[in-house]
C-alpha cells in the first residue's frame, strides 16, 4: 500500500475512558515497552499527541488533522465514516473490527460468577478482534431504594432478551447466549 508522506499525529482521549482502558490494556499485552512506560488505566499520561474529550473529541481531531490516528469505538467510526484498520490478533491473523470478530472474542472467554468480569483484549481465536470490550452495569446488592433497583433490574432483564436486536442496530454485539443464561441463573439465586 502506498501511504502519503505525512507526519503522523497521535490523537487520544483527554478524559477518563473505558475505551482508553481497553486500548491501553491491549497495547500492554502486546508491547512490553508500552506496559513499562505508559501503562494502563482510564486516564493515561500520553508521551505524545493531542487529547480530545470523549469519542467525539477524538473523532474531530482524526477527521480534521491530516495524518492523525486515534481510537474510538466502532459505532463512532462507522457513524463518522472514518477509516479503520485491520489488526493482528493473538493467533497471528489480521482481522477487521466487526460484529462477527467481536462475537468471536466474546465466545472465547471463560465467563464466571460472581461478577462475570472479563477482559476480552487479545483474546484467542483466528477470528477474534483483539480490542473487544464488554460493558458492565453494576447494581448494589443491598440497595437503599429496593423498588428503584428492581425497576433497573427489570430493564436489564428485558435488554438481555428482547433488546438483542436493538443492540445490533446501535452497533453493539449482544452477550453470548450461554453467558445470558449464567447471568439469569445468578439473578434467580438472588445474587
Segment 83-135, tens digit of pLDDT = 999 999 999 999 999 989 999 999 888 887 678 888 899 999 999 999 999 88
Regarding whether 95 and 58 lie in a shared domain, the answer is no
Residues 50 and 92 reside in one and the same domain: no
> Which residue is listed with cell 495524518?
67
Could you say which residues of the chain have pLDDT below 50? none
Task: Based on the fold, state whether residues 181 and 92 are members of the same structural domain.
Answer: yes
pLDDT for position 189: 77
Find cell 499520561 and name the residue.
Answer: 45
Pairing, β 9-13 against β 68-69: parallel
**Grid cell of 82 as nine digits:** 472514518
| Count of the separate structural domains present in the chain | 2
Query: How high is the pLDDT of residue 129?
Result: 96
- Residue 173 and residue 144 share a domain: yes
The domain in which residue 45 lies consists of 9-84
> Are residues 113 and 152 both part of a single domain?
yes
Q: Residues 168, 106: one domain? A: yes
Long-range contacts of 146-153 (CB under 8 A, 24+ apart): 153/187
According to the model, what pLDDT value does residue 43 have?
94
Q: Is 75 part of a structural domain of the chain?
A: yes
Sign of the Cα pseudo-torsion (140, 142, 146, 151, in order): positive
Phi-psi bin for 116: left (phi > 0), alpha (psi -120 to 50), beta? Answer: left
Q: Which of 135, 133, 178, 181 is nearest to 157 (CA)?
A: 181
* Cis-peptide into 114, omega within 30 deg: yes
- Shared-domain flag, residues 108 and 26: no
Amino acid at each position: 500500500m502506498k501511504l502519503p508522506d505525512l507526519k503522523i499525529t497521535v490523537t487520544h482521549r483527554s478524559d477518563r475512558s473505558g475505551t482508553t482502558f481497553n486500548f491501553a490494556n491491549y497495547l500492554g499485552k502486546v508491547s512490553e515497552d508500552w506496559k513499562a512506560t505508559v501503562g494502563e488505566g482510564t486516564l493515561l499520561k500520553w508521551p505524545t499527541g493531542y487529547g480530545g474529550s470523549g469519542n467525539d473529541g477524538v473523532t474531530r481531531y482524526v477527521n480534521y488533522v491530516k495524518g492523525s490516528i486515534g481510537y474510538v469505538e466502532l459505532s463512532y467510526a462507522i457513524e463518522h465514516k472514518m477509516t479503520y484498520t485491520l489488526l493482528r490478533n493473538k493467533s497471528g491473523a489480521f482481522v477487521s473490527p466487526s460484529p462477527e470478530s467481536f462475537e468471536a472474542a466474546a465466545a472465547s472467554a471463560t465467563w464466571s460468577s460472581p461478577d462475570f468480569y472479563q477482559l476480552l483484549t487479545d483474546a484467542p481465536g483466528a477470528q477474534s478482534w483483539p480490542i473487544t470490550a464488554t460493558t458492565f452495569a453494576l447494581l448494589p446488592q443491598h440497595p437503599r431504594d429496593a423498588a428503584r433497583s428492581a425497576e433497573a433490574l427489570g430493564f436489564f432483564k428485558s435488554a438481555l432478551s428482547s433488546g438483542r436486536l436493538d443492540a445490533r442496530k446501535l452497533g453493539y454485539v449482544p452477550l453470548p447466549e450461554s453467558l445470558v443464561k449464567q447471568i439469569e441463573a445468578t439473578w434467580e439465586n438472588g445474587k
